[in-house]
A and B are shown apart, each in its own frame.
Chain A
Amino acid sequence: MTRRLTLAHLYPRELNIYGDTGNVLVLRKRLQWRGLDAEVVGIGVGDPLPAGTDILLGGGGQDAAQGEIGQDFVRRGAELRAMADDGVVMLTICGSYQLLGHHFLTKDGQKIEGVAVLDVVTTGSDQRLIGNNSIDTRWGRLVGFENHSGLTELGTGVEPLGRTEAGRGNNGSDQTEGAVRDNVFGSYLHGPVLAKSPAFADELLRRAFARRGSDAALEPLDDSLALAAADVAARRPR
């Protein structure tokens, strides 16, 4: 049985605001607390993706930083689409979620190509969708903080990750938040989202192990602190 997962962390230097790096820490710790382990590989511009990548993680960044990594990311398009088809687990937040789509059309009409792993398109806007947000998903409630000006529309090739009642979600109009296709997840929830959504964190780990043929259940952990924090966060004003 596989006891060690390979976590590839996209652009830790460029896409690193809003604490999304915390998602990497949450997954690694949840493995270690169970006597399992993770190898975390940071992927910078030009670095190869590890052949045995089990989980790919990406965060959000400054607009300028997204420009710096844009071309490098697009060059990886075919490889990333093959990985997604092969069931590699991906969790992308904010900027990296947008780049996983077909393209991002900026406010001034510039078209930034994505890698078309997710059937979504994003358009820049003058509004900023910002505030606490909690969404209902198949894996329970996910709690986080959204902060973006790009408006994302979902195509037919993806499902929404969840629905938002009080937040703005993908685009502020259709109440959807994030996108899912196979084992690929995109979301606007910072927080980092996995910190207060332990069931979802374990779902990602479970899928990664299942893809490697080990279906053993993950030992339960004491998540009372995380769930208490999620309860508090969900009650806070936007």
Chain B
Amino acid sequence: MDLLAIWLGKLTLLVLRTAGRRGTALPGLVVEKVFPRFLTRRLARLPLGVVVVSGTNGKTTTTKMVATILGQRYRVLTNDTGGNFVRGVLTSVVQQSSWLGRTPAEVAVLELDEAHAVRFCQVYQPERLLLLNVLRDQLDRFGEIDTTAQLLGKVAARTTGHVVVNRDDPRLVAVAAGLSVEVSYFGVAPALRAQFPTDEELYGGDQRLSELKASVELLSLELGVGTELTLRIADTEQSLTLRAEGAHNAQNAAGAAAVALTFGLDPATIAAGLRAVQPAFGRGQSFDLGGRRVVLQLVKNPAGFRQSLRTVTGLRPAATVIAINDDYADGRDLSWLWDVEFASVLQGNSGRLVTSGTRAADMAVRLHYDGLPVEQVDPDLGRAVQQAAATVAPGDTVVVFSTYTAMWQLHQVLSRLTGVAL
């Protein structure tokens, strides 16, 4: 039965690939329709079970971190193809199984957004759960932030083993309070807390420090080329450099390390795993474009954008491109761009400012009202980035902040221009 399911999925993938299409949902959909219990059966065979990573921001990078750390010890199945929904997971299982029907994995690390995590948990009760944060994101999709927290509460209630929670997010701490399974926390040191505002703090609320004991704590942070940080993991301090740019990635690293501790890994091994993590799609990736360094930062919501923006203070770019699309996957509503304060970070740090994407003009209006002069408004992403690179000197850096679908387009353009398969 399962062999047939894997073949069916693999054949669908082959057909898609022959047709030159990138598919993360269709193979999963086909298998799900024909063999509805395949996924549950496969996951139930993993000796170390399933880790679900969820929250508003940082899921993809954190999933990669957990998978990389655990990958030093175990064979890991993960959905790193961007299919962060149940069918995407199914596709990953099919891809990572052999034609003989074996899925040679011991543990699965799965990124799931809030709504899909709930659906996944109806099919399979995960052994472990990592909850990163609840921030306002694409409210046009999920409705409200409190609703989002409730969704994560449902996922936590279905988790059978261990839930790891960001102690600095009060909504998640409330979720953890009602659980009967083991709970541990990760967090940032009080001195760094101001750099990681909660949703309430972003909108003017007072800072509240958590008194919960964290199994992993971010102690220090230095932004530059790479992110230098010190983590307290259990009882030891570990210093390391992350290849992914951005303070938020340092916080994510604390979450990933806390999950790794629940597997009994030692702090030095955990730190070594974090050092090896490559940036995920658009999360601080950098490319060489004609001698200029182009750094990509995916932005999806006000909190993430604010965090990502701060990378310009370390990177000191000669040009900054902000690319905003408004397709469904980006979120149709762009109002949230007005919940991000640009002037204080970009003033004097951004270099030439360029806006691009279908809503290039909207973004230019936003910057205009923040008193930042936009030198070029060009909806064509490829042209905007190429011209931005052409106007700066060799050796200079161009930072590109981009929404999701714009990032896919940029990847295609940059793959073509740099000859690097992304």
A153 at the interface (CB under 8 A from B): no
Closest A residue by C-beta to B203:
A16
Are A12 and B204 in contact (CB-based, < 8 A)?
yes
Contact of A19 among B144, B338, B370, B374 (CB under 8 A): B338
For residue B377, which residues in chain A have a CB less than 8 angstroms away from its CB? 225, 228
Known pairs A12-B204, A130-B140, A225-B361; A21 contacts B339 (CB<8 A)? yes
B136 at the interface (CB under 8 A from A): yes
Contact of B365 among A21, A63, A145, A225 (CB under 8 A): A225
Are A16 and B204 in contact (CB-based, < 8 A)?
yes
Are B338 and A195 in contact (CB-based, < 8 A)?
yes
For residue A172, which residues in chain B have a CB less than 8 angstroms away from its CB? none
For residue B139, which residues in chain A have a CB less than 8 angstroms away from its CB? 17-18, 147
Are A229 and B143 in contact (CB-based, < 8 A)?
no
Interface bits B326-366 vs A (CB < 8 Å: 1, else 0): 10000011111111000000000000000000110110111
Interface bits B150-168 vs A (CB < 8 Å: 1, else 0): 0000000000000000000
Interface bits A33-49 vs B (CB < 8 Å: 1, else 0): 00000000010000000
Are B203 and A232 in contact (CB-based, < 8 A)?
no
Interface centre among B145, B362, B368, B374 (most CB of A within 10 A): B362
For residue A19, which residues in chain B have a CB less than 8 angstroms away from its CB? 335-339
Q: Which B15-58 residues sit within 8 Å CB-CB of chain A?
A: none
Are B362 and A229 in contact (CB-based, < 8 A)?
yes
For residue B419, which residues in chain A have a CB less than 8 angstroms away from its CB? none
Are B358 and A232 in contact (CB-based, < 8 A)?
yes
Closest B residue by C-beta to A227:
B361
B369 at the interface (CB under 8 A from A): yes
A171 at the interface (CB under 8 A from B): no
For residue A190, which residues in chain B have a CB less than 8 angstroms away from its CB? 333, 335
Known pairs A19-B336, A25-B338, A195-B369; A225 contacts B204 (CB<8 A)? no
B288 at the interface (CB under 8 A from A): no
For residue A16, which residues in chain B have a CB less than 8 angstroms away from its CB? 203-204, 339
**Closest-CB distance, A33 to chain B (whole angstroms):** 10
For residue A62, which residues in chain B have a CB less than 8 angstroms away from its CB? 144-146
Known pairs A62-B144, A145-B333; A25 contacts B369 (CB<8 A)? yes
Contact of A225 among B326, B334, B337, B368 (CB under 8 A): B368
**Closest-CB distance, A129 to chain B (whole angstroms):** 11
Interface centre among A29, A128, A131, A195 (most CB of B within 10 A): A195
B205 at the interface (CB under 8 A from A): yes
Known pairs A19-B337, A190-B333, A225-B361; A29 contacts B144 (CB<8 A)? no
Are A191 and B335 in contact (CB-based, < 8 A)?
yes
Q: Which A146-198 residues sit within 8 Å CB-CB of chain B?
A: 147, 190-192, 195-196
Are B335 and A29 in contact (CB-based, < 8 A)?
no
For residue B366, which residues in chain A have a CB less than 8 angstroms away from its CB? 195
Known pairs A25-B369, A26-B369, A232-B359; A13 contacts B364 (CB<8 A)? no
**Closest-CB distance, B29 to chain A (whole angstroms):** 24
For residue A147, which residues in chain B have a CB less than 8 angstroms away from its CB? 139-140, 333
Known pairs A62-B146, A195-B365; A236 contacts B358 (CB<8 A)? yes
Known A62-B146, A64-B146; 16 more pairs at CB < 8 Å: A13-B204, A18-B333, A19-B337, A22-B369, A26-B369, A29-B371, A63-B146, A145-B140, A145-B333, A190-B335, A195-B366, A225-B374, A228-B361, A229-B362, A229-B365, A236-B326
> What are 6 A-B contacts with C-beta separation under 8 Å?
A17-B139, A17-B339, A21-B338, A131-B332, A226-B365, A229-B364
